[in-house]
Structure 1
Amino acid sequence: MVQSTIVVLLLGASLLSLLLVMFARREASALRDAAQRDTKSVRDDARERIDDAKRREERALLREKELAEDQRNAQRYARSLDERVSTVAKDEKRLVAERDRLNKEHADAMATLAGTTVSEAKARLIAGITEKARTEAAAEVRRIEKAGKSSAEERSRAILVDAMQRQAAPTASEASVTWIDLPSEEMKGRIIGREGRNIRAFEALTGVNVIVEEGVDAVQLSCFDVERREIAAVTLAALVEDGRIQPQRVEAAYARAVAGAAQRHRDAGLDALEAAGVSGVPQEIIDTLGVLRLRSSYGQNVLAHLVETSQIAADIALAVGADVETTRRGAFLHDLGKAYSHEREGTHAAIGAEIALRAGESENVVNAIASHHDEVPPASIEAIIVQVADAISASRPGARRADVEQYVERMNHLETFVSEHAGVSKAIAMAAGREVRVVVEPDEVDDEGTRELARTIADHISKEFNVPGEIRVTVIRELRADAVAG
């Protein structure tokens, strides 16, 4: 039994020793593999570093060779440059000596040929060279002036075209007809009134023809006088808006339209100032400018012409480097005198300059106004630009129409001629001059006298006026009696 136990113990010890040996071998094998891997990694890293060092060394050697080659090239270039400088110096000395020799020979030859001394020949030579240089210089100056003139003309054309292209003003001229839109066809009947009394009262009061056409929701107001037509348009617009039209309301609306003319002038003047970009204008001039909205020159609205001229002048001044604000202001006010040209003596340029001076405008602005028709010499480039801008605005296609101005003058002359007859209180030329309506004072002309006056005026018109067709003369005598009950 004891022996069996000992045997078992010995076997167990042997197995344990065997296991320990196997474990030790396994550990040793793992350590050996790890050591081999580390050794390989170290060897690979060392090999890479050696290769990198070799590549750097090769690049360094190549760079060193390039630097050596560059240095040799620089040395060769320096030697070549020294040789060229030396050659140029030698050539310069040779040429200077040759020039001096030739000059001396030329001077001696000139002196020999002319029988003069060297000093005299030198003086003649200098005079000849000077004259030749002067001639060539004069020719060059003419060439430069011609080229400069051509260039200036091209630039001026470009500036003017650019200034004109910036404008988008309408091309229609002032007409003698104003359209008033109506809310419905039924409003035409109210305007005409029973037996035409409303339209007769309106035309007699305003001096404007009312033309009613079928199929159009509008009526025309026809009159050569734009002020009458504007007041009539305001009057009729107020009546149409109210809807109640009768002779008494026509008179009330007409009175309001006449009373509101000053405010309409002021509003138009302020709108024009804003459109032109001008500020700091006295109230007196603003009101005057507003009056110009009803003035026209050969069919062109004067206030619109002022705005357009100021915009064109500002563009030109900016392009040529002139004072833009002075130019803009002078151009905007240049036709200011047209508001009073029919009331004061003198040209509209002189009247406008006087008004501007009295209002405290600068000397350049006053001169630009006074000289825009060359009545006085322009004193600045700004005044010349105002002349140019005025001509551009007036000459663009469709801006003006001479027959409108002549037509207005003919109608005014006809009314003035008829008004000179005794007993006439108002004369109104209507229907493009084919009809004259004459309102007489009822206390001076009786019913029988109206017929005689109509025949007299018709005879006088036939003798004094050479007009195509017929002119109908209508004499109106209206007697009213007012009383107040209280």
Structure 2
Amino acid sequence: MDTTTIIIITAIVGLIIGFIIAKFLEKGKASKTIASAKKEAASIVKDAKAEGESIKKDKIFQAKEKFLELKAEHEKVIINKDKKIAEAEKRTRDKESQISGELAKNKKLNEQLDSKLKEVEHKSEFLEKKQSELDKLHKSQVQQLEVISGLSADEAKGQLLESLKDAAKSDAMAFMQTTMEEAKLTAQQDARKIIINTIQRIGTEEAVENCVSVFNIESDDVKGRIIGREGRNIRALESATGVEIIVDDTPEAIILSCFDSVRREVARLSLHKLVTDGRIHPARIEEIVKKTEKQIEQEIVEVGKRTVIDLGIHGLHPELIRAVGRMKYRSSYGQNLLQHSREVAKLCGVMAAELGLNPKLAKRAGLLHDIGKVPNTEAEVETPHAILGMQWAEKFGEKPDVCNAIGAHHDEIEMKNLISPIVQVCDAISGARPGARRQVLDSYIQRLKDLEEIAFGFGGVQKAYAIQAGRELRVIVESEKVSDDKAAQLSFEISQKIQTDMTYPGQVKVTVIRETRAVNVAK
């Protein structure tokens, strides 16, 4: 071989040997790196285990503390529940003892009741026996009396009635004689009364204006329909409304006469509806009158509400608002009661403001000072209107100052605050001004009211209406309670009551009406 080849072979062998040596050296370095990595991993694992053990110990300690807290709370809850259960058991035992006591009492009472019932049964049996014995004795005594007197029971009754009739006739003759003598003695006094009453009639124009309404009609043909066949329509209308309807020769007009303006307004509106509708018969009349009465009641409430709103009065009881509304249809001494009360309320408000008092309270008292004049079924005729109004105000929750002002404005009771004299003075200012009032009208209306009150004082009276300016009292009675014979007797008794209890000009005719109806419905 030549030298070049040898050199190449030597170089190759050197390279191979160098490569092998490099591999061996690299392998030793890698094993050292792996050993050091294993040492580091072992130390990290060791540190992690130590840290894990410490964390484990901390968590176990926290868990133990939490467990102890929960255990303490649970024990508290259990203790509270035990206390509640003990209290409930105690209450239950108390209730059981109380119930057992009540049961013992009830048992004792039941025993006493049974004994009482037995006693009552024995006594009732004893009384029945005694009653039967008494009936037998009575029959035997009656028989003995019939044998002794020689008369039967019916004959004895007849003789007794005859003797009573004779005694009554003699008493009546004596009464008539006494009455005639008294009439002769009082003739001069009665003559003076008649003259005075005649003089007083000069002032009746105001009464007529306040007690009469004119209902205008388009033609006189309507009058015949309003009267109806044999007058049944006009009678039904008068009976339903309590208003006298005068159909005379006055052209295109019908007169409605009644002292109660509410009744007059109901009759006027009812007539207007009937004439407009064209159907006029008794059943329709009753239906329309009832609807009109409801309409008037609603209007009364509306008038009361508008009045209190206009005057700035708040919180008034609904019944007092209704009473204020009814003032529109009332008059006092010829003066409209609502206008008078509004005027007094305004005057009271102004005067109280000038004096540094409460004007709203004064207005309230001024508006309500005459509510006692509004008719009320609970009121007594003898009670003064000031006291009656005060009682109403107290009943419906008005303040003591307002109640005292209402009751004291005519000096019926003592004045206890400064509002009371203000109401009294303003009432006098409104009522005493020229042309404000007429004494004649008030006494006239009071006489008509007294006539109706006398009629209602008798049993079986359903309605009573004073008509024809108080010259006639029309009384409607219940047919179930009053017979035809009793109706005649009732008319006589009412006339005698009026004659003895009242003073009036002329004479009063008392008419008692008893009506029966048979009503059936076809389906």
What is the TM-score when the length of structure 1 is the normalising length?
A: 0.56
On the 8 A contact 1:298/1:403 being kept in 2, the answer is yes
On the 8 A contact 2:491/2:510 being kept in 1, the answer is yes
Summarize the alignment of residues 293-372 of structure 1 with structure 2, pairs less than 5 Å apart: 293-339=328-374, 343-344=378-379, 347-353=384-390, 355-356=392-393, 361-362=398-399, 364-372=401-409
Q: Which of 411, 414, 420 in structure 1 is aligned with 2:448?
A: 411
1:407 is displaced (CA, Å) by: 2.1
Distance 1:327 1:421 in 2: 43
Distance 1:377 1:193 in 2: 58
User: What letter matches 2:415 in structure 1?
Assistant: P
On the 8 A contact 1:211/1:222 being kept in 2, the answer is yes
On the 8 A contact 2:270/2:289 being kept in 1, the answer is yes
Distance 2:391 2:483 in 1: 49
User: How has the CA–CA distance of structure 1 residues 199 and 368 changed in structure 2, closer, same or farther, with 3 Å as cutoff?
Assistant: same
1:476 corresponds in structure 2 to: 513
User: How has the CA–CA distance of structure 1 residues 465 and 392 changed in structure 2, closer, same or farther, with 3 Å as cutoff?
Assistant: closer
Query: Structure 1, unaligned stretches of length 5 or more?
Result: 1-171
Query: Helix, strand or coil for the counterpart of 1:326?
Result: helix
Query: Helix, strand or coil for the counterpart of 1:219?
Result: strand
Q: Deviations over 1:449-468 (max 9, x none)?
A: 65565566556655665544
1:341 is displaced (CA, Å) by: 6.6
Query: Helix, strand or coil for the counterpart of 2:434?
Result: coil
1:221 corresponds in structure 2 to: 256
Distance 1:379 1:281 in 2: 21
On the 8 A contact 2:266/2:289 being kept in 1, the answer is yes
Distance 2:211 2:453 in 1: 19
1:251 is displaced (CA, Å) by: 0.6
Distance 2:234 2:482 in 1: 24
On the 8 A contact 1:306/1:332 being kept in 2, the answer is yes
Query: Helix, strand or coil for the counterpart of 1:180?
Result: strand
1:391 corresponds in structure 2 to: 428
On the 8 A contact 1:330/1:368 being kept in 2, the answer is yes
User: How has the CA–CA distance of structure 1 residues 310 and 423 changed in structure 2, closer, same or farther, with 3 Å as cutoff?
Assistant: closer
Task: Say yes or no: does 1:379 pair with 2:417.
Answer: yes
Distance 1:224 1:470 in 2: 18
User: What letter matches 2:221 in structure 1?
Assistant: E
1:433 is displaced (CA, Å) by: 2.0
Distance 1:183 1:460 in 2: 44
1:401 corresponds in structure 2 to: 438
Q: Which of 239, 244, 266 in structure 1 is aligned with 2:274?
A: 239
2:215 corresponds in structure 1 to: 180
1:295 is displaced (CA, Å) by: 3.4
1:482 is displaced (CA, Å) by: 0.7
1:211 corresponds in structure 2 to: 246
CA RMSD in angstroms, aligned pairs only: 3.4
Distance 1:455 1:352 in 2: 36
2:188 corresponds in structure 1 to: none
Query: Helix, strand or coil for the counterpart of 1:260?
Result: helix
1:471 is displaced (CA, Å) by: 3.1
Task: Say yes or no: does 1:434 pair with 2:471.
Answer: yes
User: How has the CA–CA distance of structure 1 residues 469 and 325 changed in structure 2, closer, same or farther, with 3 Å as cutoff?
Assistant: closer
Query: Helix, strand or coil for the counterpart of 1:175?
Result: helix
User: What letter matches 1:377 in structure 2?
Assistant: M
Query: Helix, strand or coil for the counterpart of 1:278?
Result: coil
Q: Deviations over 1:419-470 (max 9, x none)?
A: 5556544333211122232334434555566556556655665566554434
What is the percentage of aligned positions where both structures have the same residue? 42
User: What letter matches 2:268 in structure 1?
Assistant: A
On the 8 A contact 1:436/1:473 being kept in 2, the answer is yes
1:197 is displaced (CA, Å) by: 1.7
Q: Deviations over 1:207-256 (max 9, x none)?
A: 21012243443322111233433332332233233232111111101211
Distance 2:327 2:394 in 1: 19
Distance 1:283 1:263 in 2: 12
User: How has the CA–CA distance of structure 1 residues 280 and 197 changed in structure 2, closer, same or farther, with 3 Å as cutoff?
Assistant: same
User: What letter matches 1:188 in structure 2?
Assistant: K
On the 8 A contact 1:341/1:348 being kept in 2, the answer is no
Query: Helix, strand or coil for the counterpart of 2:506?
Result: coil
User: What letter matches 1:436 in structure 2?
Assistant: L
On the 8 A contact 2:369/2:389 being kept in 1, the answer is yes
User: How has the CA–CA distance of structure 1 residues 180 and 371 changed in structure 2, closer, same or farther, with 3 Å as cutoff?
Assistant: same
Distance 1:419 1:313 in 2: 39
Q: Deviations over 1:324-382 (max 9, x none)?
A: 333222212222344467624665444544554565555544443343234222422x4
Summarize the alignment of residues 25-104 of structure 1 with structure 2, pairs less than 5 Å apart: none
1:292 corresponds in structure 2 to: 327
On the 8 A contact 2:451/2:466 being kept in 1, the answer is yes
Query: Helix, strand or coil for the counterpart of 2:210?
Result: coil
Distance 2:255 2:326 in 1: 23
User: How has the CA–CA distance of structure 1 residues 460 and 367 changed in structure 2, closer, same or farther, with 3 Å as cutoff?
Assistant: closer
Query: Structure 2, unaligned stretches of length 5 or more?
Result: 1-205
Distance 1:460 1:328 in 2: 43
On the 8 A contact 2:372/2:389 being kept in 1, the answer is yes
1:405 is displaced (CA, Å) by: 2.4
Query: Helix, strand or coil for the counterpart of 1:331?
Result: helix
1:307 is displaced (CA, Å) by: 0.6
On the 8 A contact 1:337/1:348 being kept in 2, the answer is yes
State the structure with bigger RCO (CA 8 A, min sep 6), 1 or 2.
Answer: 1
User: How has the CA–CA distance of structure 1 residues 460 and 334 changed in structure 2, closer, same or farther, with 3 Å as cutoff?
Assistant: closer
User: What letter matches 2:308 in structure 1?
Assistant: L
User: How has the CA–CA distance of structure 1 residues 224 and 358 changed in structure 2, closer, same or farther, with 3 Å as cutoff?
Assistant: closer
Query: Helix, strand or coil for the counterpart of 2:280?
Result: coil
User: How has the CA–CA distance of structure 1 residues 195 and 395 changed in structure 2, closer, same or farther, with 3 Å as cutoff?
Assistant: same
Distance 1:441 1:303 in 2: 36
On the 8 A contact 1:450/1:475 being kept in 2, the answer is yes
Task: Say yes or no: does 1:278 pair with 2:316.
Answer: no
User: How has the CA–CA distance of structure 1 residues 250 and 390 changed in structure 2, closer, same or farther, with 3 Å as cutoff?
Assistant: same
On the 8 A contact 1:341/1:351 being kept in 2, the answer is no
Number of aligned residue pairs: give it. 315
Q: Which of 230, 245, 269 in structure 1 is aligned with 2:304?
A: 269
